[in-house]
Amino acid sequence: MNKQDYYVILGVSKSSTADEIKKSYRKLAMKYHPDRNPDNKKAEEKFKEAAEAYSILSDATKKQRYDQFGHAGVDGSSGAGQSYSDMDDIFEHFGDVFGSMFNQGSSGRKKKVGPAPQRGHDLSQEITLSLKESYLGCKKEIGVYRYVICSDCNNKGTAPGTSVVVCTDCRGSGQVAMRQGFFSFAQQCGGCWGQGFKIPSPCSICRGQTRIQKHERVTVTIPAGIYDKAELRLNGKGDSGVFGGTSGSLFLTVNVKEEKQFFRKDVDLYTTITLPYHQLVLGCEVDVKNIDDTFEKIKIPHGCPVAKEIVILGKGFKKIQGHGVGRLIIIVQCDIPTKLNKKAKEALSEYADNLGDIPSGKDLFSSFFKKFLG
Ligand SMILES: [Zn+2]
Ligand SMILES: [Zn+2]
C-alpha cells in the first residue's frame, strides 16, 4: 500500500516552521475530531493519519529521517514511525496540542487501563573487520538473538478475538490494601502480580509475552574509515518493546584486525616498501600496492635514506567525523641480502674499494640512528 506523503496530509511544505506544522495539524484535528464526527469512520481515519504525520514532522530527528529517506526512514522495526490504532493513544501523545481545544473532550476521557507499553532493551555485540574492510567500508551480515514482536497477536499478548482485562482484585491499581490490627498497608496484588491487568486467553505463540525470541540475520552498513573500538548504533535492532513499546537499539563495537603490511595511525595509513641498496642509492620509480589493491607510482630520490617517509595525500582513511581523508605514508626500507654469489661478492668488494669520496661509514651510521633516536 502506498502511503501518502506526510507533508501532503498536513498541507504543509518542507520549509514550514514547527509552529506552522502544529497549527495545520490542529486545524485538521479539529475538523476530524471524533467528538465532532461521531461514528464517522472516514473522519477517524483522517484523524489518525494526521496524528501519524504530525508525530513524525513534529519531531526534529524523525522529520530529518523522513526528509532523507521518506517513509522507509521512519517505518517498521526502526521503531521511529508511530502508527496509531487506538484513539486514546493519540490523546495521550498530543495532550499539549489538544489541551486547550478539547478540554472536556480529552481530559474527560478516562485514562486507558491495561498494560503500559514498555521499550525493549538495548543489546550489544561485537563485530570484527579486516583493516581493508574498515578502509573501504562494507556491508556485513551478523546474527542477532533478540526479541521480536509476536506477529500472531501483533504485540498484544492475547489470543485472537480476546483482550486484556482489568484485574478485578485490585481494580487495575496493582495493589491491594492489607489490614493487620490497627495497621493498613498496600501490598502487591497477588491476582495480577502487581500489573493491574490479566490476559485471560494468552496468545498461544508467545504465551502472552507479546514477543518471541528469534535468531535474525541483520545486514550492517559499515562506513569507510571506521576505526577500532568505534561503536555503531542500530536503532530498532535491540529487543522489541512489550505491548506496543518501541524497540531498543543494538550497539555494535567494532574490532579491526591487525595486518602485516599495513597499519593505521589516526587517519593515516602506513605501509613499507623494501628496496635493494642500489635502488636507494641511484633512485628509481616503483609501484606500491595500496590496501585497496590499487597501485601508487612513487619516485625514490637518489640517495634515499632508510626510513624515509613518502607521503601521498588523500589516500589514507576517510574521517568519520567531519570531512577529509588521511594520508598514505610509505616507509622506505633497505633489503640486505644474506646470500650473495661469488660474482656479486666480488663486484661489491670492488664497489667498496671504489667508494672513494663518499662520507665515512661512521657518519652514515650515526645519521641513521639519529633518525630513530630523535
Ligand atoms: Zn490485581
Ligand atoms: Zn503472541
Asked if residue 241 is part of any domain, the answer here is: no
Asked if residue 87 is part of any domain, the answer here is: yes
Residue 312 confidence (pLDDT) above 50: yes
Q: What is the structure's pLDDT at 106? A: 38
Of 84, 112, 140, which residue sits at a domain end?
A: 112
What's the 165 CA to ligand 1 centre distance in angstroms?
Answer: 10
Of 112, 128, 158, which residue sits at a domain end?
A: 112
Of 65, 82, 112, which residue sits at a domain end?
A: 112
| pTM tops 0.85, yes or no | no
- For residue 342, the domain's CATH number is 2.60.260.20
What's the 161 CA to ligand 1 centre distance in angstroms?
Answer: 23
DSSP per-residue string spanning 241-305 = PBTTPPP--EEEEEEE---SSEEEETTEEEEEEEEEHHHHHH-EEEEEE-TTS-EEEEEEPTTPP
According to the per-residue pLDDT averaged within each range, which of 71-75, 80-84, 237-241, 350-354 is highest? Answer: 237-241
What's the 188 CA to ligand 1 centre distance in angstroms?
Answer: 8
What's the 206 CA to ligand 2 centre distance in angstroms?
Answer: 4
What's the 174 CA to ligand 1 centre distance in angstroms?
Answer: 5
Asked if residue 64 is part of any domain, the answer here is: yes
Asked if residue 170 is part of any domain, the answer here is: no
Asked if residue 150 is part of any domain, the answer here is: no
Asked if residue 200 is part of any domain, the answer here is: no
- For residue 68, the domain's CATH number is 1.10.287.110
Q: Three-state secondary structure along 98-144?
A: HCCCCHHHHHCCCCCCCCCCECCCCEEEEEEECHHHHHHCEEEEEEE
What's the 157 CA to ligand 2 centre distance in angstroms?
Answer: 5
Q: What is the structure's pLDDT at 101? A: 47
- Mean pLDDT, rounded, for 239-249: 95
Mean pLDDT of the chain: 85
Q: Which domain holds residue 313?
A: 262-373
What's the 115 CA to ligand 1 centre distance in angstroms?
Answer: 12
Residue type for 363, please?
Answer: D
The neighbouring-strand residues paired with 252 are 125, 232
- Cα 251 from Cα 130, distance rounded (Å): 19
Asked if residue 71 is part of any domain, the answer here is: yes
Contact predicate 239/121, CB 8 Å: yes
Instruction: Find the ligand nearest to 170 CA.
Output: 1
What's the 133 CA to ligand 1 centre distance in angstroms?
Answer: 55
If one counts every other C-beta atom within 10 angstroms of the C-beta of residue 138, the result is 16
- Cα 125 from Cα 142, distance rounded (Å): 10
User: Which of 27, 32, 2, 30 lies closest to 12, judged by CA?
Assistant: 27
Q: How, if at all, do strands 183-188 and 138-149 pair?
A: unpaired
Asked if residue 244 is part of any domain, the answer here is: no
Contact predicate 230/254, CB 8 Å: yes
Instruction: Find the ligand nearest to 195 CA.
Output: 1
- Cα 241 from Cα 245, distance rounded (Å): 4
User: Which of 40, 37, 51, 42 lies closest to 87, judged by CA?
Assistant: 51
* Total domain count, the chain: 2
The grid cell for 86 is 487506538
| pLDDT tens per residue across span 123-179 | 999 999 999 999 999 999 999 999 999 999 999 999 999 999 999 998 888 888 887
How far, CA to CA in Å, does 193 sit from each of 27, 209, 212?
44, 14, 21
What's the 186 CA to ligand 1 centre distance in angstroms?
Answer: 12
| pLDDT tens per residue across span 49-108 | 898 899 889 888 888 888 888 888 776 544 444 566 666 666 656 655 554 444 334 333
Instruction: Find the ligand nearest to 189 CA.
Output: 1
